[in-house]
């Protein structure tokens, strides 16, 4: 039906096959069968830079006669249109001074549809970052070297495309994301953490790597830049990692896949199975280019580094944590950037790009939020900042940038000589130090095991070997948070190697053992009513070394009184509902805008709603926990 009044004849070409106008209730009505031709629709959809081919789509019911391409005011030429009249392409090398491009599609009625791009001019040497519009990228040139480039993250070779004129950077929306389709768990992994393909198109950035050559010989290191087109891709900072894909996904050498290690041993010797990603050490470190962008698009860090998989069991999960190493093997030997605004440190030797460990399946914020609640009480903590990650230009989901506990962390935070820092695991294994540095910890355990600590001289001796107040705060935090992955796991402690006998007035240089709190991913997994204090004191299934100090020291009246008093202080000050809820709410508010993309990319958490439920569960657990912990204290130690 088409109204005789106010027809769209000025906008549409209409062929009437049959028409009759008649009056019906004072209304003019045309009954007609007609064929309508609207203005052609033309789009610019992509640019194959190595082949210099610009392409796009076109639609018209009337049939396309020609597609013209204009650079600024200059006619470039006629595009080739496929027989179906839906796709066009043209060889185009943008001029060095080009500022715009317009494509015009004409139909048989000589109606024209237009698509226009106004380019931003970008220089490779200085302008990586966020761009609102399509861009022309100028690559560096030289009279004595040739510049070759890649767009897939791979290191350019002497056969890679030669830079000749600006590269055209367009939005990559809808393009394939091949790395995102590579399984990162075994096919028979437990269903609740098995890899699944993305639900939708994966957001894409543009990665440009260049290498200068003299003939076939590389000159200097390869360089990389990440370009984010089309506006803010995230409300969070962005970390972009660029590396040859084989470093992550090769069957033999790739650190992110089950690979040959799993092929050689496809058994499940423990819950998390086997895989390349379970390997560690220098042999499983790969080169990577690291960039950090603030949410404004400003790039504040860009350098070559080393990367390894980070974590133990969580390394088996589809989305994996990574550890970054600044070394002069790759470039600068530190990461120099203010990536943690609340920290005074501006230089880091190692950083972790963490997925939130086993909590990546649920709330994705637990360890970051809970550690944040402990700021100001004197414990060593890992700074945390949520970020979105891209790998070779493909969106890799929500992560956290974290500090890593090691000799460099302790040296920087406490002003120490890193070569005198010793770190051991709770089991007694040496993490950092020289052979024999673990012996003082073994001697501490032996002394506590074999002596009556209720005797003043014995307890006094223990206090020369360990920072009792540090141990109390550390233990209180783990107990309050009901961490199911502690104390049998995730225990590390450190001391500063001294030439004399440990002791004296407490200081970080006194040689005493102090504890490092980390990995609270399994906090409250047994619910807010779980009696983690009774578990610490009475569970016979826990390894003896993991509970020895707490159990023996709590037999000492002075220590017990100090422990209970400090716990009550924390309940009144550190673990208040308002303080804890504010920390969770602030972090959840940062993560919420990113969560749809995370769910679509990894399908963990299962949905945005499931994530919201997990965050609410954490709020509810924190609200209830102070009440039940007071009950646990009374049951263990009597009236408070």
Q: What is the pLDDT of residues 490-540, one digit of tens each?
A: 999 999 999 877 778 889 999 999 999 999 999 999 999 999 999 999 999
C-alpha–C-alpha distance, residues 5 and 394, integer Å: 53
C-alpha–C-alpha distance, residues 132 and 196, integer Å: 32
**Residue 573: both structure tokens together:** 């000050």
C-alpha–C-alpha distance, residues 530 and 321, integer Å: 29
Stretch 83-90: mean pLDDT = 96
Contacts (Cβ under 8 Å, ≥6 apart) of 572: none
Of residues 295 and 627, more confidence is placed in: 627
Task: State the DSSP code for 483.
Answer: B
Of residues 21 and 355, more confidence is placed in: 355
Domain-embedded: residue 62:
yes
**pLDDT at site 232:** 67
Q: Is the pLDDT of residue 611 over 50?
A: yes
* Domain end call among 103, 118, 133: 118
C-alpha–C-alpha distance, residues 77 and 448, integer Å: 86
Share of the chain above pLDDT 70, in %: 94
Name the residue with tokens 């185009």: 92
Residue 450 DSSP SS3: helix
**pLDDT at site 15:** 31
pLDDT band at 32 (very low <50, low <70, confident <90, very high): very low
Domain-embedded: residue 389:
no
Q: Are residues 230 and 292 in the same domain?
A: yes
Domain-embedded: residue 128:
no
**pLDDT at site 17:** 30
> Cα 196–202–205 angle (5° rounding)?
140
pLDDT band at 7 (very low <50, low <70, confident <90, very high): very low
Domain-embedded: residue 410:
no
Residue whose C-alpha is closest to residue 386's, from 573, 545, 598: 598
Q: 364 — alpha (psi -120 to 50), left (phi > 0) or beta?
A: left
**Residue 289: both structure tokens together:** 């280019």
Task: State the DSSP code for 499.
Answer: S
Lowest pLDDT segment from 268-277, 528-537, 552-561: 268-277
Q: How many Cα atoms within 13 Å fall on the side-chain side of residue 229?
A: 21
Ramachandran angles phi, psi of 458, nearest 5°: -70, -45
**pLDDT at site 13:** 33
DSSP tally for the chain: helices H, then strands E: 13, 31
Q: Is the pLDDT of residue 615 over 70?
A: yes
Q: Are residues 24 and 101 in the same domain?
A: no
Name the residue with tokens 């086993």: 358
**pLDDT at site 593:** 97
Domain-embedded: residue 144:
no
Residue 547 DSSP SS3: helix
Q: Are residues 276 and 335 in the same domain?
A: yes
Q: Are residues 46 and 24 in the same domain?
A: no
Q: Which helix (H) or strand (E) holds 41?
A: strand 41-48
Burial (0-12, 13-18, 19+ Cβ within 10 Å), 469: middle
Q: Is the pLDDT of residue 36 over 70?
A: no
Count of structural domains, the chain: 4
Q: How many Cα atoms within 13 Å fall on the side-chain side of residue 173?
A: 8
Q: Which helix (H) or strand (E) holds 367?
A: helix 366-372
- Strands of the sheet containing 74-78, edge to edge, are 74-78, 64-71, 100-107, 112-118
Q: Are residues 25 and 77 in the same domain?
A: no
Question: Range of 614's domain?
Answer: 415-637
Q: Is the pLDDT of residue 605 over 60?
A: yes
**pLDDT at site 141:** 86
Q: Which helix (H) or strand (E) holds 384?
A: strand 384-391
Q: Which helix (H) or strand (E) holds 621?
A: helix 608-637
Q: Are residues 472 and 335 in the same domain?
A: no
**pLDDT at site 397:** 98
Residue 81 DSSP SS3: strand
Rounded to the nearest angstrom, the gap between the alpha carbon of residue 125 and the centroid of all alpha carbons in its chain is 26
How many CB atoms are located within 10 Å of the residue 112 CB?
15
Q: Is the pLDDT of residue 5 over 60?
A: no
Query: What are 61-71's pLDDT values in tens digits?
Result: 889 999 999 99
pLDDT band at 131 (very low <50, low <70, confident <90, very high): confident
Domain-embedded: residue 126:
no
Q: Note the pTM of the prediction, 2 decimals.
A: 0.92
Domain-embedded: residue 148:
no
**Residue 420: both structure tokens together:** 């005198």
C-alpha–C-alpha distance, residues 159 and 70, integer Å: 32
Question: For position 56, which CATH number holds?
Answer: 2.60.40.760
Contacts (Cβ under 8 Å, ≥6 apart) of 295: 232, 234, 235, 236, 237, 238
Domain-embedded: residue 419:
yes
Taking the CA atoms of 96, 98, 101 and 106 in sequence, report the sign of the dihedral they define.
Answer: negative
User: In sequence order, what DSSP letters do the residues of 177-218 get, joined into one string?
Assistant: -GGGGS--S-TTS-GGG-----SSPPPB-EEEEEEEEETTEE
Q: Alpha carbon of 410 to those of 436, 452, 525: distances in Å?
A: 20, 33, 30
40, 12 contact by CB (below 8 A)? no
Contacts (Cβ under 8 Å, ≥6 apart) of 248: 179, 254, 255, 256, 257, 286, 391
Q: Is the pLDDT of residue 130 over 60?
A: yes
Stretch 287-298: mean pLDDT = 94
Name the H helices within 351-406.
366-372
**pLDDT at site 18:** 27
Q: Is the pLDDT of residue 37 over 60?
A: no
pLDDT averaged over the chain?
A: 92
Q: Are residues 420 and 520 in the same domain?
A: yes
Share of the chain above pLDDT 90, in %: 87
**pLDDT at site 268:** 86
Q: Are residues 445 and 318 in the same domain?
A: no
Of residues 402 and 129, more confidence is placed in: 402
Query: Which residues share a beta bridge with 118?
Result: 100
Task: State the DSSP code for 466.
Answer: B
C-alpha–C-alpha distance, residues 185 and 612, integer Å: 26
Q: Are residues 50 and 13 in the same domain?
A: no
Stretch 148-157: mean pLDDT = 98
Q: Are residues 209 and 76 in the same domain?
A: no
Name the residue with tokens 């935090």: 477
* Domain end call among 312, 330, 354: 354
Query: What are 191-249's pLDDT values in tens digits?
Result: 999 999 999 999 999 999 999 999 999 999 999 999 988 776 789 999 999 999 999 99
71, 98 contact by CB (below 8 A)? yes
Q: Are residues 482 and 540 in the same domain?
A: yes
**pLDDT at site 384:** 98
Q: Are residues 615 and 498 in the same domain?
A: yes
Within 476-561, strands assigned E span: 492-496, 514-516
């Amino acid at each position: 039906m088409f109204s005789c009044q106010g027809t769209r004849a000025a906008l549409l070409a209409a062929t009437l096959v049959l028409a009759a106008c008649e009056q019906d209730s004072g209304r003019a009505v045309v009954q007609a069968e007609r064929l309508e031709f609207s203005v052609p629709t033309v789009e610019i959809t992509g640019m194959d830079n190595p082949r210099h081919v610009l392409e796009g789509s076109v639609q018209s019911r009337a049939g396309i006669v020609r597609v013209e391409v204009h650079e600024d005011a200059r006619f470039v030429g006629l595009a080739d249109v496929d027989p179906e009249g839906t796709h066009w392409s043209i060889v185009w090398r943008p001029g060095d001074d080009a500022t715009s491009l317009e494509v015009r599609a004409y139909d048989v009625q000589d109606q024209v549809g237009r698509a226009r791009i106004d380019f931003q001019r970008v220089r490779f040497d200085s302008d990586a970052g966020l761009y609102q519009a399509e861009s022309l990228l100028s690559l560096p040139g030289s009279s004595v070297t040739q510049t070759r480039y890649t767009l897939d993250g791979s290191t350019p070779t002497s056969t890679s495309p030669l830079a000749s004129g600006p590269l055209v950077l367009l939005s990559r929306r809808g393009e394939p994301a091949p790395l995102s389709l590579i399984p990162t768990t075994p096919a028979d992994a437990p269903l609740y953490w098995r890899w699944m393909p993305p639900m939708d198109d994966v957001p894409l950035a543009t990665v440009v790597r260049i290498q200068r050559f003299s003939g076939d010989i590389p000159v200097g290191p390869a360089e990389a830049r990440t370009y984010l087109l089309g506006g803010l891709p995230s409300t969070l900072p962005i970390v972009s990692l660029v590396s040859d894909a084989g470093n992550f996904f090769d069957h033999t050498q790739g650190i992110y896949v089950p690979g040959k290690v799993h092929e050689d041993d496809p058994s499940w010797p423990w819950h998390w199975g086997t895989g390349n990603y379970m390997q560690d050490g220098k042999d499983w470190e790969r080169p990577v280019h690291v960039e950090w962008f603030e949410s404004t698009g400003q790039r504040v860090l860009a350098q070559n580094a080393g990367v390894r998989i980070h974590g133990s069991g969580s390394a088996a999960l589809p989305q994996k944590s990574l550890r970054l190493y600044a070394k002069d093997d790759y470039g600068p030997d530190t990461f120099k950037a203010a990536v943690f605004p609340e920290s005074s440190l501006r230089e880091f030797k190692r950083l972790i790009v963490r997925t939130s460990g086993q909590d990546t399946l649920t709330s994705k914020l637990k360890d970051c939020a809970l550690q944040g609640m402990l700021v100001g009480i004197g414990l060593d903590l890992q700074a945390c900042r949520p970020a979105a990650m891209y790998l070779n230009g493909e969106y890799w989901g929500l992560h956290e940038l974290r500090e890593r506990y090691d000799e460099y962390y302790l040296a920087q935070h406490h002003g120490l000589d890193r070569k005198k820092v010793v770190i051991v695991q709770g089991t007694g294994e040496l993490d950092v130090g020289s052979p024999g540095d673990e012996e003082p910890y073994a001697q501490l355990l032996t002394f506590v095991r074999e002596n009556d600590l209720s005797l003043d001289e014995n307890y006094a001796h223990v206090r020369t070997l360990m920072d009792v107040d540090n141990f109390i705060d550390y233990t209180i935090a783990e107990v309050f948070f009901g961490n199911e992955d502690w104390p049998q796991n995730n225990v590390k402690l450190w001391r500063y190697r001294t030439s004399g006998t440990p002791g004296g007035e407490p200081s970080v240089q006194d040689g005493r053992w102090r504890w490092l709190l980390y990995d609270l991913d399994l906090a409250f997994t047994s619910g807010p009513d779980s009696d983690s204090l009774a578990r610490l004191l009475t569970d016979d299934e826990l390894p003896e070394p993991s509970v020895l100090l707490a159990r023996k020291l709590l037999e000492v009246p002075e220590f017990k009184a100090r422990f209970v008093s400090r716990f009550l202080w924390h309940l009144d000050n550190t673990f208040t509902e308002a303080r804890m809820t504010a920390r969770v709410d602030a972090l959840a508010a940062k993560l919420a805008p990113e969560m749809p993309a995370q769910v679509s990319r990894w399908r963990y958490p299962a949905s945005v709603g499931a994530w919201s439920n997990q965050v609410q569960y954490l709020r509810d657990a924190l609200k209830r926990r102070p009440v039940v912990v007071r009950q646990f204290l009374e049951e263990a130690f009597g009236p408070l």
